[in-house]
Structure 1
Amino acid sequence: MMRLSVLLLIALVASGLYLVRTSYESRRLFVEIERARNDEKQLLADEKRLDAERQAQATHLRVERVAREKLGMRMAGPDITVYVSDARSASSASGALR
């Protein structure tokens, strides 16, 4: 009878230690899941903010202003437009008409 009591006591202590270990592990995993959820929320907020910034940076007026100010570009008009014709294409086109 004494052996059975000792065996049951060892089983009880082992199961108690296993229960404590699994409880600790489940708490640790729960905290890790919550951190991952918070990271996800932060990343989604950053994505929305960056998308809004990208849209603000890509407006037509801003692109035009940057092209004018930083790149020195200007609107093309008939006074600065140069038309170039290829002599070979012109002669082959006129030869085809004959």
Structure 2
Amino acid sequence: MIRVNLFLALLLMASAISLVTVRFQTRELFVASERMKAHAHELDAEWRRLQLERAELARNARIDSLARSDLHLVSVTPDRTIYLQQPAPAAQGAPQ
């Protein structure tokens, strides 16, 4: 009878230790999961901010103002335009 009681006591101790270990691992995984969710939320916010920044940088008015100020570009006017005319193609049966 003592052997059975000793075996059951050892089995109970092993069960209790495994329960504590499993709960500890569960808490660690929960904390890691929450940390990952927070990091995902931060990355999502950063992504939205970058999308807004990209849209702002690609605006036509901004590109135009940068071209005028930094590159000193000016708008095309008819008096500054050079038109080239392509010569008429030669007739097909005529000697060259």
TM-score greater than 0.5 by the shorter chain: yes
Q: Where does 1:1-98 land on structure 2 (aligned, <5 Å)? A: 1-86=1-86, 90-92=87-89, 95=91
RMSD: 1.6
Structure 1 runs (4+) greater than 3 angstroms displaced:
none
TM-score, normalised by the number of residues in structure 1: 0.85
**Which structure 2 segments of 5+ residues have no match?**
none
| Inter-partner Cα distance in structure 2 for 1:14 and 1:85 | 95
SS at match of 1:95: coil
SS at match of 2:78: coil
Query: Residues 1-22 of structure 1: CA distance to partner in whole angstroms, max 9, x if unpaired?
Result: 0110110011011001100010
Instruction: Return the offset for 1:85.
Output: 3.2
- How many residues of Structure 1 are paired with residues of Structure 2 in the alignment? 93
TM-score, normalised by the number of residues in structure 2: 0.87
